[in-house]
Amino acid sequence: MKEKELRRSMAVFTIGTVMKLTDLTARQIRYYEEQGLIEPQRTETNRRMYSLDNVDRLLEIKDYLAEGLNMTAIRRIYDEKQHKSKRPQEVKEHHLTDDDVRRILYKELLNTSSFNPNDTTSWNKNL
DNA sequence: ATTCTAACA
DNA sequence: TGTTAGGA
């Protein structure tokens, strides 16, 4: 099952095709790279080359953005994952990753200023 | 024709 | 984020 991983990580798309595939503007795609969300390869002429994994992540980012999250919030989500994959000890929480993301999302929504947690009653109590 | 960086009437 | 200038 390693051939598959190789292909998904193989950079074969130009920013132009990624734009069509993700419906994002070149500006956004480059900006998300600046934020450390993706790391496309570069050709000898400095052109960006994206892999399927890169495209998938961009689509995820687009979803998070649609849910009202800001860059710092999204950045944290991927940073958390990176931390966990580097800690073989915490096997326990490896299974809660998906739910963890959910919690992070809500927590960040509070800082997105589009909500008033002040007078809302109980949905955010145990976050 | 495409993409890149930098910058903002 | 959009857009544009000036290069590659």
Domain extent, residue A23, equals: 1-52
A58 occurs within a structural domain: no
Q: Is residue A78 located within the same domain as residue A124?
A: yes
How far are the Cα atoms of A83, A91, A95, A103, A104 from residue A87, in angstroms, in the given order?
7, 8, 13, 20, 19
A119 occurs within a structural domain: yes
pLDDT digits (tens, 9 = 90+) for A45-71: 999 999 999 999 999 999 999 888 888
Instruction: Protein contacts on strand C: list nucleotides below 7 Å from a Cβ.
Output: 1-4, 8
A47 occurs within a structural domain: yes
Q: Residue A45, exposed/middle/buried by CB under 10 A (0-12, 13-18, 19+)?
A: exposed
Compute the distance between CA of residue A74 and CA of residue A79 in angstroms, rounded to an integer.
9
Q: Is residue A86 located within the same domain as residue A48?
A: no
The span from the first CA to the last CA of chain A, in angstroms, equals 39
The letter for the amino acid at A104 is: I
* A111 sits within 7 Å of strand C by its CB: no
A61 occurs within a structural domain: no
pLDDT tens across the length of chain A (127 residues): 789 889 999 999 999 999 999 999 999 999 999 999 999 999 999 999 999 999 999 999 999 998 888 888 899 888 877 666 666 655 555 566 767 778 878 777 776 655 555 555 544 444 4
* A48 sits within 7 Å of strand B by its CB: yes
